[in-house]
Structure 1
Amino acid sequence: MLGGGSLLGLSTLAGATTPAAAVSRTHVVRDYQPSRPHGWYQGSTVGGHVTSKDFEHNGKPYRVALLPISPSSDDPHLVYQDAPADPAVDFQRHLAEAFGAHYTFTYAGGLRGREEFRIQSHSVYTSRPAGNAAALDCGADLHVVYRPDPRKQDPAATDKLQWIQVVKSLGPPLDNLWRANPFYLAGGLTSVNGQNVCSFYDAPSVGVGRPEATVQFLAETFLVQDTGTRNAAGKAVVHVFGGLKWGWQVKLLQD
């Protein structure tokens, strides 16, 4: 939701995307789909799994690419985490500083089942803002659908489920649009063409041609449950389950 500053839903991408067969992981399934509505605001996912894209802007060559989060994994561009762990993102500290006076966050140590997170779009893109032919934005999207494993006491996909995202990039660390709660706006239970789904969608972007030669986006994004209860101190109780670490960068290839 960060980047240049606003939510961005895109229905097209210059360059083809290649659907990939689902591959079982402990908690993540690659279930890449074509561009389709995500249900959170007007617009669609980028679709597929495009990991990098070279392009030219104002006569200079650039590359936007997914970050190699875990080079040792089969898919180095996204990893599952039982709990926030990246010191550069510092998820727990930023969350506590922003909302620790009103919420208590309990970390459940991950999800208990298998294949709960289905990654349906995770692709880089470029886009020209409407009405400004000279400008160019680029970034990446992530669309995740949560399907609980009923055998392992995963939290049910109800309206109590939300997402929290903390980022290391441009803008404030807690990605909640400065609202009076810590929850990411485009995440949780929604309806897509009459079907209820619990999902997360983000398509952060930056404008190309900024003074920085390289701009990098890194995020930890966690499924959480707003329990609707309060502890003895009167704070709202939020359970934090498993999540994902993902990111991308854009860089000038030569000056």
Structure 2
Amino acid sequence: MSVTSKSPVVLQVRDLACDRDGRRLFEGLDFSLCTGAAIQIKGANGAGKTTLLRTLVGIVSDFRGEILWCGSSFPSALPAMRGSLLYIGHRGGVRGSLTPLENLLWYGATRESALWALDCVDLSGFEGSLCYSLSAGENRRVALARLFLPQTPRLWILDEPFTALDAVGVAILEQQMAAHLGFGGSILLTSHQCLSLERLVSVDLSDFVVDESLVAMEAEHVFS
């Protein structure tokens, strides 16, 4: 599955299968992510959405199939992909002992660009507060402020980025995603949110779940 055949493919998976705790989450997963396009990964809780993203960014290395970055296969292509990647997971990478401003400075932002990004996510006035004292929604916005820094990496991989955001926060983030795609970036995200991004396709992991009943029938046939 690909969003368009006219744009270069940046990230591709072929016949991908992932396990967790000895259980096959999904198999036979195929998709291609092109420049200027987005893929939304859907599925029930426990379907393997987070495991998929952690596999694609190299945190999880136990998989079957092939992952390619700009035509080159993992694991040799992983360093190059990480150099073009902005990944925000469930925890968001926010350090509670630092302020929102200090968190963005730690990621390499200048003070000016960090303050601008915090203002974009409606955190102006909170830049000096310790993050452990902020709400879950405010900490999520601290993490997402990285998407508003200048010259962000071209590939965004985001795990449930809309979690704990109010309606205004959702709208702001969706606008920034649209701008990133407009500049030729690519986005892979998990979300239950209904999105209105152009050049967005959905991939439902439920379509790639192993049928346990068939597995049991095959095993019974082999050992009968």
TM-score, normalization: structure 1?
Answer: 0.27
Higher helix proportion, which one? Answer: 2
Higher strand proportion, which one? Answer: 1
TM-score, normalization: structure 2?
Answer: 0.29
